[in-house]
Structure 1
């Protein structure tokens, strides 16, 4: 082949055709990389989507999400679908999501939701086996549905590394932890096996004081009397129901619990007890900070 043929310019017609083909492909590629339009009525799925860098179109009970889950924060652009058990289907239809994500707890809504958009169910606490591997599997499943599989691996790696780093910051903790959320002034959810809190304790190298039975969500609903005689550090996770704080101040039962009597109580800001990886990381951060402060206080009180 002669040098002249190698350097022959492209004809104007071919150049125009190539440019037109390139312009046609660019929008398609941009569209392929755009995040899907997803809606969910489940807070754990919403939290995970945000952790993957995807803002959902809509979430149910956004104000309650902000009270119970807290972080990651929902942007103001996220529409409120109303009650989780009775979402606003008309609003959801107007938003025209490409897919609706639910958890098994809301399976009864699937037939109605599927008339608006395809529905995908992602379970976490309904799965058999240890919670932590299930949590990782659910994160990957949500990421696949959102078209962000690599984001799941980053989120998993970051969360596990952060919790491992927090474990190294903890002083020796002599007593096991008793983790509760108040339902009213006399009843608490106490968290044990198969709970998010227990899974985090395991990764922080801490012991759980509650060895009693738990449900599929990892907690048992008990009266305060069930906590009597347990020698532990009590961890109270907010929010407290209205009136509970004042009622506890007048409660002899509360004041005579071993951890309360010995001032071994720490209170944490709200962390979604049925959450995903970001809730796990946030619980680890809040707990580690509270335990470090409590241990320093105990040392200061020692003669």
Structure 2
């Protein structure tokens, strides 16, 4: 009898959670903020609002959302003043979850880790958050739309290259001497694979899905197209050098720039990455890859 009563109580509590989802939600990572807004929920607070608007952009944060400081060091007093019912936290806030729990319920997601499939975790996070907020239908509709956008972006690239697109190396130039090469376990690679395109050497999975290398290491990509995510403020310092002009993908016209677009976001940003890369790739002359 006690077991039956406990089960009924559990079911009743679950039903109440579905019927009374959290109304005031704060997001301390840009990926979770992106996911929250995509689900149609305006956050009451977000960490580093200006950074989100600069690097992520879409979906746009509502006017008046409270900025609670850095993602790595959120202002707990400002967060408490926002009076959230639920705080969405990720990797950067793992060490302060006890403090956050003193303000409101905390929903923690390990967004990026070498031991997991980051893109799959992002999709599952969207579905789980949708369920928690009573927006399961919206979450599934977003994923369906993401998949459709990925397919459309891939089709556009294949048409441009007459069905024979090149392999693609997504990069972000950091300085005139250093570059991030995006590969295994990265959102950029998830976008490429969703488009039906390939990376010539994705490497081993890393926490964030990229490796940092000297710019000269890009010379190994003799046949691939290389797509750089902007902004790159030091472009004048690199693009006029002999080193850059001798890169195979530069000499043969297989270099293009994409974005601005965020490379460490949630499931929705994978579609934005795909569309940005497609926009870049179709500027390359098809003859350059024959």
**What TM-score do you get using the length of structure 2 for normalisation?**
0.85
What SS does the corresponding residue of 1:216 show, helix, strand or coil?
Answer: coil
**Larger Rg computed on CA atoms:** 1
Q: Which among 28, 33, 38 is matched to residue 41 of structure 1?
A: 28
Could you say if the C-alpha distance between residues 249 and 201 of structure 1 is closer, same or farther in structure 2, counting changes exceeding 3 Å?
Answer: closer
Instruction: State whether residues 182 and 202 of structure 2, in contact with CA within 8 Å, keep that contact through their aligned partners in structure 1.
Output: no
Comparing 186-195 with 225-234, which one deviates more in the overlay?
Answer: 225-234
Partner of 2:64: 77
Partner of 2:242: 252
Q: Which among 91, 102, 116 is matched to residue 103 of structure 2?
A: 116
Shift of 1:82: 1.3
Partner of 2:81: 94
Separation (CA, whole Å) in 2 of partners of 1:82 and 1:132: 27
Q: Pairwise mapping of residues 1-303 of structure 1 onto structure 2 (< 5 A)?
A: 36-126=23-113, 128-170=115-157, 171=159, 172-231=163-222, 232-240=224-232, 242=233, 244-294=234-284, 297-299=285-287
After superposition, the C-alpha distances for 1:20-60 in whole angstroms (9 at most, x for unaligned) are xxxxxxxxx9xx57862000110000001111111111111
Separation (CA, whole Å) in 1 of partners of 2:73 and 2:117: 31
Could you say if the C-alpha distance between residues 185 and 71 of structure 1 is closer, same or farther in structure 2, counting changes exceeding 3 Å?
Answer: same
What SS does the corresponding residue of 2:282 show, helix, strand or coil?
Answer: helix
What SS does the corresponding residue of 1:293 show, helix, strand or coil?
Answer: coil
User: Unmatched 5+ residue regions in structure 2?
Assistant: 1-15
Separation (CA, whole Å) in 2 of partners of 1:56 and 1:173: 44
In the comparison of the two structures, how many residue pairs are matched?
A: 267
Instruction: State whether residues 122 and 142 of structure 1, in contact with CA within 8 Å, keep that contact through their aligned partners in structure 2.
Output: no
Superposed CA RMSD: 2.2
Could you say if the C-alpha distance between residues 141 and 123 of structure 1 is closer, same or farther in structure 2, counting changes exceeding 3 Å?
Answer: farther
Instruction: State whether residues 227 and 280 of structure 2, in contact with CA within 8 Å, keep that contact through their aligned partners in structure 1.
Output: no
Comparing 263-272 with 40-49, which one deviates more in the overlay?
Answer: 263-272
Separation (CA, whole Å) in 2 of partners of 1:126 and 1:83: 21
Separation (CA, whole Å) in 2 of partners of 1:156 and 1:251: 43
Instruction: State whether residues 52 and 148 of structure 1, in contact with CA within 8 Å, keep that contact through their aligned partners in structure 2.
Output: yes
